[in-house]
Structure 1
Amino acid sequence: MIFRQLFDSVSGTYSYVLASRHGGEALILDPVLEKVDRYCQLLRELDLKLVKAVDTHLHADHVTGLGELRDRTHCMTVMGDQTKADVVAMRVADGDKVTIEGLSLDVMYTPGHTDDSYSYLMGDRVFTGDTLLIRGTGRTDFQNGSSRAQYDSIFNRLLKLPDETMVFPAHDYKGDTVSTIGEERRYNPRLQVRSVDEYIELMANLKLPNPKMMDVAVPANMHVGLHQEELEKEGRALSAVEAIRVLGRPDILLVDLRESNERMKHGMLEGALHTPYPSVEESLKPGGMLREVAAATGRRVVFFCAFGERSAMAVAAAKQAGLSNTAHIAGGIDAWKKAGGPIVHG
């Protein structure tokens, strides 16, 4: 396994690059905008393809690198269901898994620092975002934070993990890089409380100043979605209502870009071909399945995904590959359901 811990000294943020080898798929956790050049350099040096960029929560102390990495690498952006970000390619919930080739992260909803805070468990290590820090915990006094919820997330979720589980947080301000669950249980001063009420009182009396970047970072991080208006102007976007009208037409080929677990959880469109987004570029090359089907049948390829971000990127990739008769469903399955479109489960 490839594992790299990267640090932004301005915001005290740790970002993590994870990969297995084989085809070189990679994932990054909590990227910082100003460090995107460094991440891309590292990906090139290690011959990795960034597939997913994940934020553990909506950050207030730095502008996320999610959007810039998506634009440069065409990776998928991932956040929790509760995020206030306008559009991300994939939203996850407690109990889901975030996977790339050879690696799987268990999704844990651990609110408290914010109401959209998640942790990600991978074997012998857990990425705790700002929920559990090394000898500290994330503040709970803004972004719908809750000391009560954080107590539950830490004491009833994270501290239930084996003592030897390594803790990799999203921030550190003292130079520590890693801890363990056992260490934090014994030595974290904020965890030496006897009750939830005592924890709430402790957190209420921290009297911390707001993060310096908060007024800039929060609004910026809420608007990371890929702009899709140009596709609409080019006539390469169907509204959900328009897509419902063409469902089943023989001249239309619907292509579902979501992953199998998303399809099982949220339902499918009848007759749609399943081509997960990471394989699209290969499928559009000469000899690729999508290219061959489109050429042989003359059907218009209409991509769709969860919220329209992956499908918009697929349309752009198709255009670059010389396949012009494509479009996407703006807003994805989310918009389709809101418009009353039929869903198949199973």
Structure 2
Amino acid sequence: MIFRQLFDPTSSTYTYLLADRRSGEAVMIDPVFEQVRRDSALVAELGVRLLWTLETHVHADHVTGAWLLQRRTGSRIALARASGAAGADRYLAQGDKVAFGRRHLSVRATPGHTGGCLTYVLDDESMAFTGDCMLIRGCGRTDFQEGDPGALFRSVHSQILTLPEACLLYPAHDYRGLTVSSVAEERRYNPRLGGEIGEGDFVGYMNNLRLAHPKQIDVAVPANLKCGRPEDEAAALAEPTWAPLRYSFAGIWEVQPQWLEEHARDVQVLDVREPDEFTGPLGHIDGALPIPLGTLAARAGELSRERPIVAVCRAGGRSAQAAVILQQAGFTQVANLSGGMLRWRTEGCAVEGGEALPRAVEADSYVI
């Protein structure tokens, strides 16, 4: 079997590709909209045929790539019957099987994080893909989307921790760089669900977490209830050639820091921060043109329409707005620097000016 674990740094989401080597048939679990170009390229390079994209649940922190992969590869979409989502080719429930070549994934209903969570278990029970139901030394929150801490506790103990001890557990997310666990480890070390912890203690703990509202939920959940189908389908399917761009569900093309550092002389780098930020601790990209966002519409004439533009700000929000302003002004080759100067500095890219930032500031997440 072919197995690949892929990662989206913006949402800390793991995507999994499994393929039967002999037949070349494959499935993909929890694809991310912005990573579809990467994922479809991997499918092509491995020479496999993507049959299904599978969702562990309706995500609140990113938009699924299911619809876009369907358009690019001809794959079909499957997710929980209890999810309430429209646009899938198959709706799954407890006991169903999803075949790919000689292999298959068994479906286990594991509600609790949301009302429609599924865990996928490989046919020989050597691997399980738990979504947000069970994370490595943790679990998903239970305070929205029909979440229920009691149901989550029962799901984990009846459907996941009953698997063989050596079964490897692969979650939908990890925020500390951990990639895989096992049933034995989580039984022993999971502070929320392992050991002798009872359902009452777990429910009390989960009901008092007081977590902040997920920042992407108002965009992600409605989009995922349509399997990731965007309003502007043509734009999502377009293929710019001037850079390896990612198209966000918000309709913004994004470029990664490493590419921009290597090709900064080939584009116009537009810094839309305020003047004190441009000269401040984060520094700026060599050769960047400073035009604050508030003056951009009036000063757009200072930019060439013949060369691509990459907009930059502190964390990527204002520069995304700048990209929209420029598109509305008729500029056709515009992208946003993903993560802004925070990510640029975090990844060690060169800057003009600026200061050596304290570690805590360098770690200030541009993805939350």
Shorter-chain TM-score bucket reads 0.5 to 0.7
1:196 to 195, 199, 207: 199
The question of whether the paired residues in 2 share the 8 Å contact of 1:193 and 1:199 is answered with: no
Q: 1:148 matched to which residue of 2?
A: 150
| Structure 1 position 104, deviation (Å) | 0.5
2:325 alignment counterpart? none
Give structure 1 stretches of 5+ with no counterpart: 228-346
The aligned counterpart of 1:68 is 68
| Corresponding letter in the other structure for 2:167 | T
Alpha-carbon distance in 1 for matches of 2:164, 2:25 = 28
Local SS of the residue matching 2:82: coil
Q: CA separation of 1:15/1:85 partners in 2, compared to 1, >3 Å: closer, same or farther?
A: same
Aligned to 2:128: 126
Report the alpha carbon displacement of residue 44 of structure 1 after superposing the two structures with TM.
1.0
CA deviations 1:38-89 (Å, max 9, x no partner) are 0011011101111100001000000000110111111110001111211200
Q: 1:297-346 deviations in whole A, cap 9, x for unaligned?
A: xxxxxxxxxxxxxxxxxxxxxxxxxxxxxxxxxxxxxxxxxxxxxxxxxx
Number of aligned residue pairs: 227
1:30–1:170: 8 Å Cα contact kept in structure 2?
yes
Q: How does 1:312-331 map to 2 (within 5 A)?
A: none
Report the 3-state secondary structure (helix = DSSP H, G, I; strand = E; otherwise coil) of the residue aligned with 1:51: strand
Question: Aligned residue for 1:31?
Answer: 31
Partner of 2:107: 107
CA 1:60–1:174 in 2, change beyond 3 Å: closer, same or farther? same
Letter in 2 for 1:186: R
Kept in 2, the 8 Å contact 1:88–1:225? The answer is no
Percentage identity across aligned positions?
47
Residue 102 of structure 1: how far off its partner (Å): 1.9
Q: Is the 8 A contact 1:117 1:129 kept in 2?
A: yes
Which of 208, 214, 218 aligns to 1:215? It is 218
Confirm or deny: 8 A CA contact 2:168 2:181 kept in the other structure.
yes
Q: Who is 2:316 aligned against? A: none
Separation in 2 of the partners of 1:206 and 1:132?
17
CA distance in 2, matches of 1:127, 1:95: 15
Please report how far the alpha carbon of residue 23 of structure 1 lies from its aligned counterpart in structure 2 after TM superposition.
Answer: 3.2
Alignment check: 8 A CA contact 1:107 1:120 kept: yes
Matches within 5 A, 1:1-346: 1-122=1-122, 123=124, 124-191=126-193, 192=195, 194-224=197-227
In the alignment, residue 31 of structure 1 is paired with which amino acid?
P
SS of the residue aligned with 2:71? helix
TM-score between the two structures when normalised by the length of structure 1: 0.64
Q: CA deviation at 1:221?
A: 0.8
- Report deviation, 1:22: 2.5
Change (3 A) 1:225 1:167: closer
Q: Which letter does structure 2 place at the counterpart of 1:215?
A: D
Q: Which residue of 2 aligns with 1:339?
A: none
| Paired residue secondary structure (1:106) | strand
Instruction: State the one-letter code of the partner of 1:216.
Output: V
Alpha-carbon contact 1:85-1:225 (below 8 Å) kept: no
C-alpha contact 1:17 1:29 (8 A) present in aligned 2: yes
SS in 2 for 1:189: coil
In structure 2, what is the Cα distance between the partners aligned to 1:148 and 1:210? 21
Distance 1:86 1:199 in 2: 33
Tell me the residue number matched to 1:281.
Answer: none
Cα separation, 1, equivalents of 2:78 and 2:31: 12
Deviation at 1:185, TM superposition (A): 0.8
Q: Secondary structure at the match of 2:18?
A: strand
Consecutive unaligned residues in structure 2, runs of 5 or more: 231-368
Structure 2: which amino acid aligns with 1:160? T
Separation of aligned partners in 1, 2:145 and 2:88: 19
Letter in 2 for 1:189: P
Paired residue secondary structure (1:156): helix
SS of alignment partner, residue 77 of structure 1 = strand
CA distance in 2: counterparts of 1:222 and 1:194, whole angstroms: 34
Partner SS state of residue 120, structure 1:
strand
Contact 2:121–2:128, Cα closer than 8 Å, also in 1: yes
Segments ≥4 residues shifted beyond 2 Å? 224-227
Shift of 1:225: 7.8
When the two chains are superposed, the root-mean-square deviation of aligned CA atoms in Å is: 1.4
Give the superposition deviation at 1:193: 5.3
Letter in 1 for 2:190: N
* C-alpha distance in 2 between matches for 1:157 and 1:107: 10
Structure 1 residues 2-33: Cα deviation after superposition (integer angstroms, max 9, x where no partner): 00000001101000000012331111000000
How many angstroms does 1:224 deviate by? 2.7
CA contact (8 A) 2:65 2:228 kept: no
